[in-house]
Amino acid sequence: MGCAPSAVNVSRKPASKVVAPEEPQTKGEGDQSEGGREPSDLQLISKEADYSMFYGKMKFRSNSMTILLVFGKEDAQCEAFRKAADKGNYQTTLTKTPESAIESFAENQQDLVIIDCRHSKHFDAVKLCKTLKERHPRGHSRFLALTNKCDKDEPSVLPLLNAGFSRRLVENTNITSCYNELLSIDHSELEYRSHQQVQTSAAMYHALNHVSESIEITDSKFRTEFVNRLWEKQTGYSSKEVIGTEFQDKLQVDNCNEEQTLVYHAKKNQIWEGQQSIRRKNGDIIRCKCRIIPMMSNSNTASRYILVRQTVDGYSQWDRLKDIDSKTHGMMYQRRKDSITRFHTMTIETPLSRVINMLYEAQTSSGTGNIVHSALEKVLDILQSTELFSPHIHQVKEEDPLTSDYVDGLCDRTAINSQTNRQIYGQKSSISSSSSKLQVGVASKQSLSMYKPSAEVQSLLQGNATWSFDIIQLESLTNKNVLVPLGIKIFERFGAMELLGIDEHVMASWLKLISDNYHSGNPYHNATHAADVLQATAYFLDKMRPKKLLDAQEEIAALIAAVIHDVDHPARSSSFLVNTKNDLAILYNDIAVLENHHAAKGFQLTHKSDNSNILKNLDREVYESLRHNVIDMVLATEMAKHFEHLQKFIHLCAANIKPVSEDDLEKKSGGSSSAMESGLDSPENRRQILRMVIKCADVSNPARDTHLADRWARRIAEEYFQQTEDEHRKNLPVMMPHFDRNTCSIPHSQYKFMEVFLLSMFEHWDGFLDIPEVYEQLQKNYKYWKDVEIQEKQEKQNAVATETSPATPAVLS
């Protein structure tokens, strides 16, 4: 960026006697104080010594060089390096196997790694170096290859350099020679000082992005070099739009005289404070407190300008993007009010969300009952639909049906009007109700003879409508055949057999067929996971019933989607299938490979035989509508679309769930919240809600009771471990390198997954459904995993302390 000093000054002094340099003069960015220069003489320091490093006025401490020795056996050369390191007071660790070297390097990231390449019988040194470099490609460590002396022609060093080694050392057991090598490397080759400088720069950038004022840094010609996040929210422009451009003119308001511009004051090369009006990207004018700080160079001219702004009055768009402190405890009114407020304070930003927020603001300011308000409402409906590029041809449908059908065919517009679906489905149910009841009555004995759950299983299934339902216990009691008994119980509770016009025997046969096509050997993506998602889906649908948003057909579609959503899962990711050129990746053109396969496989199995075809009695229109909903929900489980679906759901709720008063809640009976939601009962809105139902159910196991969440976490980790090992065996790109069986921290991976994907989603899902038992359990598990990680780290530290005791010579302190 150019605004920070270009040199790093190092003083090597004992830690207990570190003396800060004198405050540098602010004459220019190139000035250096005498106290910050590196001394020319070398001082031997104690093992506790460190380097005091100054980056501008920031001081930080960097420990002396750490060394990892990898020797298959301890010989004279190994002992020479150990004594040389001890003489230089460098912290040294000795390992004898590749496994222990990988583990030590993963934990400590030593500055210097010396690998013995003289004896290939102990381990493959080249392969070990490549492995260490691959695990930490952006690390600052240097790798040295120790080789034999050559009596003949000197071999090329190129193979070693290609493997990742920085240089070659020829064996020399003289301690002083080894000591001089280490000193030379420490003083001239190590990159950890520049690494510290980069880390310090990143820390300063991070700090600038979290201050309460907007920051802009320009060069001497007022070309923008840096803006922080608050500047983006304040002005409405993104950093990509402004970096490298002279942007001040775009922020100026019309009819602004020269004395009112920041450029006018900046050219005086003095610190200036005052007020300024700026124009946001959407045209709004906001008033700001401004401060201009010039950075002076040696020639007494400004090389950079720092512009600091803070909004002083008026309501601006970026205010609504600030987080609020939601009170999740206390009275039901306060909790419900806070939950609804979350939708109006969402912080996920995309270009489309900015446009929608601006339109919301314009709609609010335009008042109600006028043409502008109605037009903006239609615009918002269009922007929030998923078919932004699908043609709307309502008028053409009547005037030119042929053109309408042609466009529908080209655009694959197979969705059917929801109100028509409801009417058709109701007719289907009424027409076939009598025959359905007869079929169920006749087949009941057959179903009982086919599957008779034990008394213990039946007792456990009584709690299938609770969030604390133990699917792992059911898995144990049924020998992993969980989908049939649980599925029959849930589908029966939702009246699925009667509405589909089938008997329980057909339903049980279908569930058994789908269950058999889940791979029982998969640690995670198996029939138990499908049953767990089915139970969570049913739980969410139960909570949604008071809202009266979904009809029976949509509920059954959600349950079917939950059953088939991972059928025939290979325990490998879509990326893995793409990288291996798997037939499925070829078939689906590398796009949502697994999700497309699950949906297709589910319907393929369903139509395999009349004995297990639960959809065989549906009319064409009803079948097509249900199929469309099932496919849409299965495809929504693709994590690549996670934030897109969440973003649309938040906007949907913010637009249709209105904050209510305490009086409104007191008037409500039975806890129903349907009076608070308006406009949700549209086809697109209900479809988005169904996507969220299956999305939340699919990743809900981290929100289960802690003992269940722990089991699921270790199962998914095992599946990822197997994929990583498979990728290494097949020399494929490693998609999740952190999921290495030897180095991965399961607790860390779990709470990070919660931070990135789950906490925000379930917070908004709780705000919509009012399910505190789910969201609060997720928060408890989040704390649980953080506590487990702390405990594991402490255990490792204790183990290292034991290994580094005098009785164990392998590791030197």
Residue ranges of the alpha helices (H) in 613-742? 620-636, 642-656, 662-667, 683-698, 706-729
Q: Give 553: exposed, middle or buried? Use CB within 10 Å, 0-12, 13-18, 19+.
A: buried
Cβ atoms within 10 Å of 178's Cβ, excluding its own: 23
Contact criterion met (CB below 8 Å) for 321 and 313: no
3-state secondary structure of 20: coil
Question: What is the Cα–Cα distance from 690 to 386, expressed in whole angstroms?
Answer: 14
Q: Output the six-digit token pair for 528.
A: 């138990």
The answer to whether residue 525 is catalytic is yes
Question: What is the Cα–Cα distance from 90 to 496, expressed in whole angstroms?
Answer: 72
Contact criterion met (CB below 8 Å) for 110 and 141: yes
Q: Output the six-digit token pair for 572.
A: 């490998």
List b or e across 434-449, with b for residues whose CB sees 16 or more CB atoms inside 10 angstroms: eebeebbeebeeebee
| Consecutive H or E run containing 309 | strand 302-311
Own/partner contacts of 119-126, CB < 8 Å, gap of 24 or more, are 119/72, 119/73, 121/72, 122/72, 122/73, 122/96, 123/72, 123/97, 123/98, 124/98, 125/70, 126/159, 126/160, 126/163
Comparing CA positions, the residue from 340, 354, 416 lying closest to residue 665 is 340
Question: What is the Cα–Cα distance from 194 to 198, expressed in whole angstroms?
Answer: 6
Comparing CA positions, the residue from 405, 660, 711, 687 lying closest to residue 528 is 711
Q: Give 302: exposed, middle or buried? Use CB within 10 Å, 0-12, 13-18, 19+.
A: buried
Question: What is the Cα–Cα distance from 497 to 491, expressed in whole angstroms?
Answer: 7
Contact criterion met (CB below 8 Å) for 287 and 275: yes
Contact criterion met (CB below 8 Å) for 607 and 535: no
Question: What is the Cα–Cα distance from 148 to 505, expressed in whole angstroms?
Answer: 76
Instruction: Give CA 174 to chain center in angstroms.
Output: 52
Let me know the angle formed at the C-alpha of 247 by 243 and 249, rounded to the nearest 5 degrees: 175
Let me know the angle formed at the C-alpha of 242 by 238 and 244, rounded to the nearest 5 degrees: 140
For residue 768, report the phi and psi dihedrals to the nearest 5 degrees. -85, -45
Contact criterion met (CB below 8 Å) for 312 and 347: no
DSSP per residue, 431-456: HHHHHHHHHHHHHHHHHHHH----HH
Q: Output the six-digit token pair for 76.
A: 């004279």
Question: What is the Cα–Cα distance from 251 to 274, expressed in whole angstroms?
Answer: 16
Beta-bridged to residue 94, according to DSSP, are 69
Instruction: Please pick, among 140, 206, 265, 525, the residue that the annotation labels catalytic.
Output: 525
Comparing CA positions, the residue from 427, 671, 682, 644 lying closest to residue 549 is 682
List b or e across 554-577, with b for residues whose CB sees 16 or more CB atoms inside 10 angstroms: bbbbbbbbbbbbbbbbebbbbbbb
Comparing CA positions, the residue from 639, 600, 666 lying closest to residue 756 is 639
Q: Output the six-digit token pair for 282.
A: 């959407």
| Consecutive H or E run containing 294 | strand 285-296
Beta-bridged to residue 143, according to DSSP, are 113
Question: What is the Cα–Cα distance from 200 to 189, expressed in whole angstroms?
Answer: 20
What amino acid positions are annotated as catalytic residues? 525
